[in-house]
Amino acid sequence: MSNESHDDKWTQGPEVPPDASPQAGQSAEQSLPGDDESVETLRERQRLAQLGLMDRWVDGVLKEQRRSRRWKLFFRFLFAALLLTLIAMLGYGLFMTSQPETPEGPHLGLVEVDGVIDAESAANARRVIEGLERAWDNDAAEAVVLHINSPGGSPVQSQRIFNEVMRLRDKGGKPIIAVIEDIGASGGYYIAAAADEIVASPSSLVGSIGVVYSSFGLNDAIEQLGIERRVFTAGDNKAFLDPFSELDSDQRVFWQDVLDTTHQQFIDAVKRGRGERLSDDEDLFSGLIWTGEQGVQLGLVDELGSLDTLARDRLEEPKWRDYTPALDPFDRIARRFGRVAAEWLGLPTTESPVRYQAR
């Protein structure tokens, strides 16, 4: 029994007291010479690594803040530049719409009628009439020149300009000459007819003394698509021009009478302005359009020429001054935006459906 106990490896070795703990052995091992130095070195390396990581994080935060600050400054400068640009444009618009500088010496007083004649366009009655009055009141302007390049447009705007030209023409003392560039047709010719004299290039297009209204009849199309048109009116003919409604014979007769009446107003105005210079050609008031060369034979044009030849013929030193009020850029943008928005939304506009306009 004693021999077995002596050979058992579990019973070999020194005796351990009962109160001894495992930590004692571990502490003894850790306290070996050289181990304290390696632990401190490791701890120092970890601390340095943490400090380096913190430095990189702080450096990244500072860089991001500097980058954000630069972008903020950039956008502030950009906003300031845009604001200054808008202020400059406003100042330019206000300056250009003021009274023009009085030119020195004799010259031709130019008034532009460029583009479609309409209350919302550059060639509107208010602007053209203001230019006419400026040129007429300046004694240095030897003649007032209506520089026309227009296919026509609104009957009302054309009539307003025509009446103003006739009023000044009746006052006398200064000739009013219409110079037609590429086209002076329909409402454009309506205005030209009021002048004392009409000058056009051989290839200019003139005439088109007529009235036009165009639309579509889509009532059958929406029926085939299964679409129901809902229009509520007070008055049997309130919506007779609706393209989705049927147009009966009485309404056709009525609307044709409106067009004929407007056409007769045009004819009367041309006869009043041109007088006996007009030929007896039966197609003169049919809506046809002619070249400037043909217009001379029909009495629609007085002579072939241009603004340059006119200035050379009437002045020793050919020069002219534009008296047309400049367009306010903000007003122009607002008008265009409003017009496009109205078209997209299907809102009604102030444009007359009846047009003195070449098509």
Residue 329: inside a domain, yes or no?
yes
Contact yes or no for 344/232 (Cβ under 8 A): no
pLDDT at position 209 over 90: yes
Examine residue 21 and state whether it is found in any structural domain, yes or no: no
- In whole angstroms, give the CA distance from residue 228 to residue 243: 13
Confidence of residue 322 (pLDDT cuts 50, 70, 90): very high
Amino acid 292: pLDDT: 95
Residue 66: per-residue pLDDT: 82
Whether 44 and 179 share a structural domain: no
Do residues 155 and 275 share a domain? Answer: yes
* Mean confidence (pLDDT) of the chain: 82
Phi-psi category of residue 20: left, alpha or beta, with phi > 0 → left and psi -120 to 50 → alpha: beta
Report the predicted TM-score, pTM, of the whole model to 2 decimal places: 0.68
The CA distance from 185 to 288, in Å, is 10
Q: Is residue 87 part of a domain?
A: yes
Among the ranges given (50-59, 120-129, 158-167, 306-315), the one the predictor scored with the smallest mean pLDDT = 50-59
Per-residue pLDDT at 21 exceeds 50: no
Residue 46's domain spans which residues? Answer: 39-96
Percent of the chain with pLDDT over 90: 47
152: nearest Cα among 123, 194, 130, 195:
123
Residues 163 and 130 in one domain: yes
Is 210's pLDDT higher than 70? yes
Residue 337 in this model has a pLDDT that exceeds 90 = no
Task: Find the CATH number of the domain harbouring 189.
Answer: 3.90.226.10
How do beta strands 197-200 and 303-304 pair? parallel
Listed residues 67, 96, 125: the one ending a domain: 96
Please spell the DSSP secondary structure of 105-150, one letter per residue: SSEEEEEEEES-B-TTSSB-HHHHHHHHHHHHH-TTEEEEEEEEEE
pLDDT the model gives residue 13: 52
Residue 32, pLDDT > 50, answer no
Rounded Cα gap, residues 352 and 213, in angstroms = 10
- Domain shared by 175 and 194, yes or no: yes
> Considering its fold, how many domains does the chain have in total?
2
pLDDT (0 to 100) of residue 65: 83
For the record, the structure tokens of 211 come out as 């009235």
Is 27 contained in some domain?
no
Distance, in Å, from the CA atom of 200 to the CA atom of 181, rounded to the nearest integer, reads: 7
Residue 9 covered by a domain: no
User: How big, in percent rounded to 5, are the helix, strand and coil portions of the chain?
Assistant: 50, 15, 35
Out of 9-23, 83-97, 213-227, which region has the weakest mean confidence (pLDDT)? 9-23
Q: Which helix (H) or strand (E) holds 170?
A: helix 155-171
Residue 27 has pLDDT above 90, yes or no: no
313 and 347 both lie in a single domain = yes
81 assigned to some structural domain: yes
Q: Are residues 135 and 177 in the same domain?
A: yes
Residues 63, 113 within the same domain: no
Same domain assignment for residues 74 and 160: no
DSSP calls for 15-60: ---TT--HHHHHHHHHTSTTHHHHHHHHHHHHHHHHHHHHHHHHHH
Asked if the model's pLDDT at residue 1 lies above 50, the reply is: no
Task: Give the model confidence (pLDDT) of 135-173 as tens digits.
Answer: 999 999 999 999 999 999 999 999 999 999 999 999 988
Confidence at residue 45, expressed as pLDDT on a 0 to 100 scale: 81
Q: Do residue 68 and residue 199 come from a single domain?
A: no
Amino acid of residue 256: Q
350 pLDDT above the threshold of 70: no
Q: Are residues 82 and 187 in the same domain?
A: no
pLDDT digits (tens, 9 = 90+) for 261-296: 999 999 999 999 999 999 999 999 999 999 999 999
| Same domain membership, residue 92 and residue 110 | no
Q: Is residue 59 part of a domain?
A: yes
CA distance 347 to 147: 34
In the chain, count H helices and then E strands.
11, 10
User: What confidence score (pLDDT) does residue 192 get?
Assistant: 97
Question: Quick one: pLDDT at residue 233?
Answer: 82
Determine how β-strand 152-153 pairs with β-strand 197-200: unpaired
Assess whether pLDDT exceeds 70 at residue 349.
Answer: no
Tell me, yes or no, whether 185 and 58 share the same domain.
no
Tell me the pLDDT band of 196, cut-offs 50, 70 and 90: very high
